[in-house]
């Protein structure tokens, strides 16, 4: 079995006096899309932030592409080829759409072909190219946040709730974009509440409960096991939005 692209072992994270992660452990295989699921407050967002170095792991180990990144600073983690889309999107409202993407492209001016592909998926970004990003609607901001993460090829994308509050048409575009990214060289780790969306895209799952990973496996197997879903995600996950 090849070494996973990303692996977490025994990761503990504390925020102030709160102990949030209690020994999180799971792997993300290269080239696939792993869904990180769980109830609200299970620790999904904290896990992504800890991988990104935005919270410090108090214990445990995080390895990326064969390298220990547990103690690296956030910019250095990003420079290894990890992009992050936070739940709040964190777009720069004062900067235009163009300027947001210029910053996201570290290597130089954004590549024209890649930009065309992004415009194909997220047409609104082209339309509002020169407008302050603060003027965009919620869905358009989400597109920009994702576009920022994929403006240059990255090995691993960490995406926190990409479908939150999006219209179905945009979700379809998002699904298509993620599928294309997967076909390219990117690996994705996506936090999701929308189980329909998760089921369509996910290759494998890691399900968190109370600061730990309670289940890992293939998406197909998890989707079939309604009892396990019930147990880990609670009732009515299908409608959960």
Site residues, another protein (CB under 8 A): 15-16, 49, 52, 54, 73-75, 78-79, 84, 86-88, 90, 92-95, 99-100, 102-104, 106, 132, 134-135, 148
Minimum distance between the CB of residue 157 and another protein, rounded to whole angstroms?
A: 12
**Strands (E) located in the chain:** 6-15, 18-28, 33-38, 57-64, 67-68, 82-85, 156-160, 187-191, 204-209, 212-218
Rounded Cα distance between 149 and 140, Å, is: 14
Minimum distance between the CB of residue 219 and another protein, rounded to whole angstroms?
A: 27
Give me the residues paired with residue 189 across strands.
Answer: 34, 158
Residue number, 92 or 119, with CB nearest to another protein: 92
Site of tokens 């947001």? 100
Residue number, 111 or 203, with CB nearest to another protein: 111
Residue number, 57 or 219, with CB nearest to another protein: 57
The sheet with strand 187-191 has its strands ordered as 82-85, 156-160, 187-191, 33-38, 204-209, 212-218
Q: What is the C-alpha R_g of the chain?
A: 17
Residue number, 25 or 78, with CB nearest to another protein: 78
Residue number, 25 or 114, with CB nearest to another protein: 114
Rounded Cα distance between 220 and 141, Å, is: 31
Rounded Cα distance between 115 and 108, Å, is: 13
């Amino acid at each position: 079995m090849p070494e996973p692209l990303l692996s977490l072992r025994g990761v503990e994270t504390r925020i102030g006096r709160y102990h949030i992660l209690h020994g999180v452990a799971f792997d993300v295989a290269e080239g696939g899309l792993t869904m990180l699921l769980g109830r609200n407050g299970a620790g999904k967002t904290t896990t992504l932030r800890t991988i990104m170095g935005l919270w410090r792991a108090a214990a445990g180990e995080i390895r990326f592409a064969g390298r220990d990144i547990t103690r690296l600073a956030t910019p250095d983690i990003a420079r290894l080829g990890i992009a992050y889309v936070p739940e709040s999107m964190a777009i720069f409202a004062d900067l235009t759409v163009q300027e947001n993407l210029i910053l996201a492209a570290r290597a130089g001016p954004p590549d024209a072909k890649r930009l065309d592909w992004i415009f194909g998926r997220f047409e609104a970004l082209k339309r509002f190219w020169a407008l302050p990003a603060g003027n965009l609607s919620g869905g358009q901001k989400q597109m920009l946040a994702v576009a920022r993460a994929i403006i240059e090829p990255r090995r691993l994308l960490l995406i926190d709730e990409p479908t939150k509050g999006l219209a179905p048409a945009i979700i379809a575009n998002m699904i298509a974009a993620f599928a294309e990214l997967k076909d390219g060289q990117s690996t994705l780790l996506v936090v999701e509440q929308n189980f329909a969306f998760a089921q369509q895209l996910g290759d494998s799952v890691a399900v968190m409960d109370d600061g730990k990973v309670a289940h890992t496996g293939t998406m197909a197997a998890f989707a079939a096991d309604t009892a396990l879903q019930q147990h880990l995600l609670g009732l009515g996950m299908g409608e959960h939005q």
